[in-house]
Amino acid sequence: MTERIGDGLVRIGAMTEDQRDKVLQMQTDGDERMFGEIAIDLQFIDDKAILSFLDSRGL
């Protein structure tokens, strides 16, 4: 099973579970942007966090 980006960002310590849940709720409420776009706009993460997540997956 592929790890979802929000779960991976929590796993590597880049986001809290509450932050992940806020982004997911925004998507549920109709925000069609990608998870990372929302998280960056909310200043929960930056580009480095996404790169760290990808690196942790060996990508």
For 57, the token pair is: 């997956």
Q: How many residues in total does the chain contain?
A: 59
Asked whether the predicted pLDDT for residue 11 surpasses 80, the reply is yes
How far, in Å, CA of 47 to CA of 35, rounded?
A: 12
- Domain boundary assignment for the chain: 5-56
**pLDDT confidence of residue 59:** 64
Over the stretch 14-52, which tens digit does the pLDDT of each residue have? 999 999 999 999 999 999 999 999 999 999 999 999 999
**pLDDT confidence of residue 6:** 96
User: Residue 35 in contact with residue 20, Cβ under 8 Å?
Assistant: no
How far, in Å, CA of 5 to CA of 28, rounded?
A: 16
Calculate what percentage of the chain has a pLDDT beyond 90.
Answer: 86
pTM above 0.75, yes or no: yes
Model confidence band, residue 1 (pLDDT cutoffs 50, 70, 90): low
Secondary structure letter of residue 52 according to DSSP = H
